[in-house]
Amino acid sequence: MKSITTSTDSKAHIQRVYAVTTGDYVGETYICVDDISDPLKFLSIPKNINRYVPQDKFDFAMNYDIIEYIETLPTEVYEIVKAQFLFNENSNH
């Protein structure tokens, strides 16, 4: 995995990857697939499951270093992630 980089923008954005660094979900990596709705929508890897995070909890997690921005995925990779998220959502996974 790449080393964690800093981002001055704490808002969730599609295609962005975040590492969960502490708490109940430590070790998971969240990839944002919907940054418009509340709750925000993420695909969590390596578990490959959908996670729904209210905007206020996301903001708190960013402000208190519970999650950290890693990188922005290339569009081709993001499209695969989004397809997996939709598959999970459609199969009630």
Per-residue pLDDT of the chain (93 residues; tens, 9 = 90+): 444 444 446 678 999 999 999 999 999 999 999 999 899 999 999 999 999 999 999 999 999 999 999 999 999 999 999 999 999 999 964
Long-range contacts formed by 54-58: CB under 8 A, 24+ apart = 55/12, 58/12
Domain 16-90: give its CATH code: 2.30.30
Report the distance separating Cα 15 and Cα 79, nearest Å.
9
Report the distance separating Cα 38 and Cα 26, nearest Å.
22
SS3 70: strand
